[in-house]
Amino acid sequence: MTNPLALISLKNPWHILATGFGSGLAPVIPGTMGTLAAIPFYLLLAQLPFSLFVVAVIVSAVIGIKICDITSSDMKVHDHGSIVWDEFVGLWITMSIVPYLNISVTDWKWLLTGFILFRFFDMVKPWPIGWLDSKVHGGFGIMLDDIVAGFMALISLWLIGKYSGWL
């Protein structure tokens, strides 16, 4: 059986995006590495007016279905760990609450807390994330569980901010 990573080409734009510009090719914790790689892009996106930020995240999620579908098909594996575009979008969803609340997007406590919350929901996969991960396949399935994890982390981040006095 061929190693799925051998089927990745960083000359292929779909593969470059799917692997988070290569961050998902890290030999350990590729999802976490992909989420870390998403932070600079979040910081750039967060400079946009909030409505354009939301549009950019939605477009990234929709295009992500194709990105993940093509790459997982090319690898012949559903949701290989090196595919981290879904982590990019999930983190951006999580952090979308920050510019909406008019908080500095570079405030380290929000960024660190959002990162930890998203990674928690993405790795632990509480219901319905785990159910979606096991039942929905293809590029849509790869994206969907991280989108839901992003929204659960967003709500948690808002609740932490509200009840910790950060807001």
- pLDDT by residue (tens digit) across 132-154? 999 999 999 999 999 999 999 99
**Residue 135 forms part of a structural domain:** yes
91-111 pLDDT, tens digit each: 999 999 998 888 888 789 999
Q: Please check whether residue 16 lies inside any domain of the structure.
A: no
Distance CA 3, CA 153 (A): 33
Q: Residue range 18-26: average pLDDT?
A: 96
Alpha carbons 140 and 121: distance in angstroms, whole number: 18
- For residue 66, the enclosing domain spans 29-164
- How many domains, in total, are found in the chain? 1
CA 157 to CA 95: how far, in whole Å?
8
Residue 47 lies in a domain: yes
